[in-house]
Amino acid sequence: ADGEPVSVFDACSSRHRPQSQRSVRRLVEQAGYELRPLPYEGRRAQCCSWGGQIAIANPPYTRWLAEKRASEGEFPYVTSCANCRDVFAAAGKPVRHILDIVLGLEGWTRRTPGATERRRNREHLKESLGAKYWPDRVGLREGRDGTMEMKRLIVGPELKEKMDGLRLLEEDALAIIEACEATGRRIRDEDTGHFFGYGPVGRMTQWVEYEPCAEGYVLHNTYSHRMAIES
């Protein structure tokens, strides 16, 4: 790193773990970086904006808080929290997790994974660990993830961003579309040719606007309400 200046952003959960905070700094210095302090460190570590489900309760405040935390340091951040890393990456702040540095992974500008990608990463991790340590178990990825592999759901970048903000998964949207196609419970817009339908996802109802295509389905819009529709 040749003395490149960086700042360690302490995770709020590390406030009372000074040994862990020192260990992170030691690893950063051993990697050749020069540490620059932040206004709030150690026992004064501040929340990056991830904690407390703030993003669900008040998204504008979450964005403001993340940008404020990112602006408190002039140099790139190193953090030991995966959530902090993703929050700052989404805010445009150069950032790396300490394991990225130790293991020589990813650069300072790796994008933040969306909600669907996070889910798939967890499923792949579960599958790989299961295959290694519990090889007698089968069907770890059966069900909706299997549907995603058989049918492709095409989602544009703007809609992906919207779905990430609303915590809506592509696999749930596809499952609803498949149910609409199987049952015929859908309506068609004669002007656009798009189909509309809905389905339950846990305690909420999700709506989809879509159209079939050769590869599977094109998702044009989706949204949800915390309500149940009884027929």
pLDDT in tens, 63-92: 999 999 999 999 999 999 999 999 999 999
Q: State residue 4's pLDDT score.
A: 95
CATH number at residue 184: 3.30.2310
Q: Label residue 130 by pLDDT band (50, 70, 90).
A: confident
Do 153 and 92 lie in one domain? The reply is: no
Query: Among 102, 124, 156, which residue terminates a domain?
Result: 102
For residue 62, is it within any domain? yes
Do 156 and 92 lie in one domain? The reply is: no
What is the tally of structural domains in the chain? 2
Q: Using one digit for the tens of pLDDT, what is the confidence trace for 13-50?
A: 999 999 999 999 999 999 999 999 999 999 999 999 99
Q: State residue 135's pLDDT score.
A: 82
| Res. 141: pLDDT tops 70 | no
9: containing domain: 5-102
CA gap 123, 147 in Å, rounded: 14
**26 DSSP assignment:** H
Q: State residue 139's pLDDT score.
A: 56
| Res. 132: pLDDT tops 70 | yes
Q: State residue 149's pLDDT score.
A: 57
Do 92 and 153 lie in one domain? The reply is: no
For residue 115, is it within any domain? no
Do 150 and 78 lie in one domain? The reply is: no
Q: Label residue 114 by pLDDT band (50, 70, 90).
A: confident
CA gap 87, 113 in Å, rounded: 10
CATH number at residue 47: 3.40.50
Q: Label residue 131 by pLDDT band (50, 70, 90).
A: confident
Give the residue among 18, 24, 74, 27 at the shortest CA–CA distance from 45: 18
For residue 132, is it within any domain? no
Query: Among 70, 85, 102, which residue terminates a domain?
Result: 102
For residue 135, is it within any domain? no
**55 DSSP assignment:** H
Give the residue among 93, 65, 91 at the shortest CA–CA distance from 6: 93
For residue 221, is it within any domain? yes
218 close to 192: Cβ distance less than 8 angstroms:
no
| Res. 106: pLDDT tops 90 | no
For residue 35, is it within any domain? yes
